[in-house]
Amino acid sequence: MSVAAGGLVTLGETLGLLVAEDVGPLPLIRGMRLSMGGAESNVAIGVSRLGVPATWIGRLGRDSVGDLIERHLMAERVHCLVRRDAAPTALMLRERRTATASLVSYYRHGSAGSHLCPEDLPEDVIEQAGVLHLTGITPALGPGPAAAVREAMRRARAAGVPVSVDLNFRSRLWDAATAAPVFRELAAGADMLFAGDDEARIALGIQDPAGATSEELAVALGELGPTEVVVKRGRHGATARIDGAEIDVPAVPVDAVDTVGAGDAFVAGYLASRLTGRDAHERLSTAALTGAFAVTVPGDWEASPRPHEMSLLVAEENVQR
């Protein structure tokens, strides 16, 4: 499978994922399900399932978990530009402590993914992309991954390739004070910026959780540079400011089984629609649908829909201006 020009290119760390099969304390469960997860690869899968070419760049260990990740991605028609590393592939363990609350443990220090560096970015792949998608997770992994993100962004902007950034704050990787200047740097280089309310406040240095509305956060983020800003509000929908226009999109009502991966599916729906020439309202409507699909089954990416499945969930409200 060759890299197709005009599609999505993304980079970052994908982890092996162990999920408890039962609800309850981890020492008492009967088994674990092995899968994979990673914000960037979740988006790549979501975009690919919607019929848009997607490429993921990363490092994996020379181990069975790395084999599993590459196999899954290739099965989802995501082109993998992978370097195998002597360090192990990272792992994430998810304990279903109650029916509605999960506890996550990471085993990623010194992992293969933390060794990502600018030299891992192949020539001409970013330059031929329709969109480069980055997250705020990768710079938190270490100096090499941070340099890779900056180099990817530099190359994309030099080539006129639109840059998408999802801030994706991870408190296990760094604190808000450390993340804030990096988030502002990413926002300044982005054309499209996605953030939750809390992530927007980190980037803007707002301490009070009630210090600004979603609309005000979107405007303030736009002043950092991006022309398309989407503040994701989970079950409350999303607020966007796109080319100066404010747009609200309600969430699609569904019975949530597992909310992990919903934000990535939302971004995938938006970017796939943008890459196929849809207008802002269609992008947000599609994003709301793909985000809703993500919560209907367990797993980070498994529920991402294909085009013929989109009608299975119908929004009760249209995008409102």
Taking only the tens place, the pLDDT of each residue in 60-114 is 999 999 999 999 999 999 999 999 999 999 999 999 888 777 888 999 999 999 9
Q: Give CA angle at 56 (198, 90), nearest 5°.
A: 70
Helices 39-49, 64-75: crossing angle, 10 deg rounding: 30
Q: Which band of pLDDT confidence, cut at 50, 70 and 90, is reported for residue 3? A: low
Structure tokens at 298: 């367990």
Residue 289 has pLDDT above 50, yes or no: yes
User: Cβ(320)–Cβ(248) under 8 Å?
Assistant: yes
Of 10 and 313, the structure prediction assigns the larger pLDDT to 10
Interstrand relation of 32-37 and 103-107 (parallel, antiparallel or unpaired) = unpaired
Q: Which band of pLDDT confidence, cut at 50, 70 and 90, is reported for residue 41? A: very high
- Section 279-303 average pLDDT: 91
Task: Map 117-169 to HEC letters.
Answer: CHHHCCCCCCCCCCEEEEECCHHHHCHHHHHHHHHHHHHHHHHCCCEEEECCC
Residue 243 has pLDDT above 80, yes or no: yes
User: Cβ(269)–Cβ(291) under 8 Å?
Assistant: yes
Q: Which band of pLDDT confidence, cut at 50, 70 and 90, is reported for residue 4? A: low
Tell me what pLDDT residue 6 has: 85
DSSP letter (8 states) at residue 300:
S
User: Cβ(17)–Cβ(65) under 8 Å?
Assistant: no
CA distance 89 to 126: 24
138-175 pLDDT, tens digit each: 999 999 999 999 999 999 999 999 999 999 999 999 99
User: Cβ(194)–Cβ(230) under 8 Å?
Assistant: yes
User: Cβ(14)–Cβ(40) under 8 Å?
Assistant: yes
pTM of the entire predicted model: 0.93
Q: Which of 22, 264, 279, 300 is catalytic?
A: 264
What pairs with residue 196 in β-bridges?
Answer: 232
Whether 166 is a known active-site residue: answer no
